Chain A
Amino acid sequence: MSVDPDHPHTGSHHHDHGQEPPSATALRVKALESLLVEKGLVDPAALDAIIDYYENKVGPRNGVRVVARAWTDTAYKARLLADATAAIAELGYSGSQGEHMVAVENTPALHNIIVCTLCSCYPWAVLGLPPNWYKSAAYRSRVVIEPRAVLREFGLDLPDSVEVRVWDSTAEVRYLVLPERPAGTENMSEDQLAALVTRDAMVGTARVRVP
C-alpha cells in the first residue's frame, strides 16, 4: 500500500477500487517506519527480508520434516528426544525462538500441548510465527486450567485414561510436540508422512489423521 503518511487522504483512491482505506494503525506504522528510515535506524530492505523470511522460508513445513524424519528413522527420533536443538539443526533449522528446543512425544497414554500464558512464546524456528488463536487471551488463560475443554473445542475428546500434559513456555526453551504416527501409515514414505502432519498436531491441539 503506497500511502504518504503526510497526506492520508491520498489513500481514498484505494477506496474507489473497492478496498478499505488504511486504518489509523496502518498510517501510524507507516509514519513510524518513515521516521526510523529517515534517521538511519533501520534499512527498509532489511525489513522486507525479515518479512520474507517468515512468510516464505520458515513455517510449519520445517517442523513437518522433523516429525516425518522421527517417524521413519528410529535413531533420529532418539536424538530428537535426547537433544532436540541438535537434531533439528541436522535438518537445517535453527535460530530465533528455537535456540533451546525440546521435543515431547505423544503416546497412547500421554498427550502433550503447548502454550505460553505470559506472552505468546512459540517455536518460530520450526513452526514459524504463531496463529492468532495461540496468541489469544482465551487460549492462554484456559489451556492450563481446562486443557480437555480446550482440546474438545479443537475436536479432540480424550479419554480419562490419557494424561494431558500442558507445557507453559515460561523460559527460552521452546517445545515441539512429536505426534503419534497414525495407524495404517506403515508403508508410507517420509514425504507421504510429511504431507499428513499439521501445525496444530505439533502444538498439541490435534492428532495426525489419515485422510
Chain B
Amino acid sequence: MNGVHDMGGMHGFASLVVEPNEPVFHEVWEGRVYALVNAVGAWRRWNIDAFRQQQERMPAADYLRASYYERWLFVLIENVVRHGLVTREEVESGRSAPGTPKLTPPLQASMVADLRRRGIPTTRSVERQPRYRPGDAVRTRNIHPLTHTRLPRYARDKRGVIIALHGAHVFPDSNAQFQGENPQPLYTVRFEASALWGDGASSRDTVCLDLWEDYLDTA
C-alpha cells in the first residue's frame, strides 16, 4: 500500500538525532514489547509479512507520532485480537474471560537462544528457473497494491540492472495476505541514483534493492 511507512525519498523529516552510547532498550516496557512480540509469534498465527502489513495499516498520523516500539505494541494488540488469541474485551479489562482454560506457552525460556540462533529462513526450493541473470537490464513494475508490498514507491517504473540472484524467497505480497508463500527468484537490482532522483543526483551514486521476480519486467 502507498502508506506513510514507505518513506524513501520523502522530504520534511528534519535532521538526524544521534544519541551516543544509547542502550538497547530505552525503557523497560520497550524490551517487554519486543519480547512479547517474539514470544506470541511462537503461536505462529501470523508471519513476518503479515506483521509488517499490520504495522502499515496503522493510521498514518498515528504511525508518524509513534515510536518504533509503540508501533510494535499496536501491531501486537491488533494481531492477538484479529487472530483469536485474546478478545478485545480482555485487552480492555486486562483480565482473562471467566472460564478460559490456561494454555501452555509454546516458547519456553530454555528454547530462546537456540531458536534465535536458528532464525526463520525465507529461502525455498522451487522448480521455477530464474528469468534473469546478473547483468540483465530490468524495469520495475508500476504497481500500487492496496495491500503489502516490498517494492517502494521511489523504485517503481525504474530501470536497473540485476547484480545478484539470491535463490527463491517467500513472496511477501501474497504471504502477508495468507495467500501462500509463492516463493520466487529474489534479485539485487542496482539503480543509478539519477534514474531514481533525476539529474540533481550524483552521477556516480547508486541504490541497490532486493526485488522479487514478480516486481520486474525485461527493460
Chain A contacts to B: CB under 8 angstroms: 1, 5-6, 23, 25-26, 28-36, 38-43, 45-51, 53-55, 57-59, 94-100, 102, 115, 117-120, 125, 128-129, 131-133, 135-142, 144-145, 147-148, 150, 153-154, 160-173
Contact = CB atoms under 8 A, between A and B. Distances in A.
Interface residues of B, number: 96
Given A117-B7, A132-B22, A45 B116 contact: no
Main secondary structure of the interface of A (DSSP, over half): mixed
A40 B172 CA distance: 30
16 contacts: A26-B27, A26-B28, A36-B36, A38-B96, A39-B96, A50-B35, A50-B39, A99-B121, A100-B166, A119-B5, A129-B25, A129-B34, A138-B16, A144-B196, A160-B204, A169-B210
Contacts of B205: 147-148, 163-166
A208 to B, nearest CB: 17
B102 to A, nearest CB: 4
A50 B112 contact: yes
A69 to B, nearest CB: 19
Contacts of A23: 27, 29
A49 B113 contact: yes
Contact of A133 (B18, B64, B104): B18
Contacts of B36: 29, 32-33, 36, 42, 47
A23 to B, nearest CB: 8
A165 B196 CA distance: 13
Interface in B16-46: 16-19, 22, 24-29, 31-36, 38-40, 43
Nearest to A139: B16
Contacts, number: 271
B169 A172 contact: yes
10 closest cross-chain pairs (CB), A and B: A117-B8, A40-B103, A171-B210, A95-B119, A49-B112, A45-B109, A47-B35, A50-B35, A31-B94, A95-B117
Contacts of A30: 29, 32
B112 to A, nearest CB: 4
B122 interface: yes
Interface string B84-95: 011000110011
B211 interface: yes
A141 B31 contact: no
A138 B15 CA distance: 6
A192 B120 CA distance: 34
Contacts of B154: 117, 144-145
A163 B22 CA distance: 30
Given A99-B120, A99-B121, A144-B154, A29 B22 contact: no
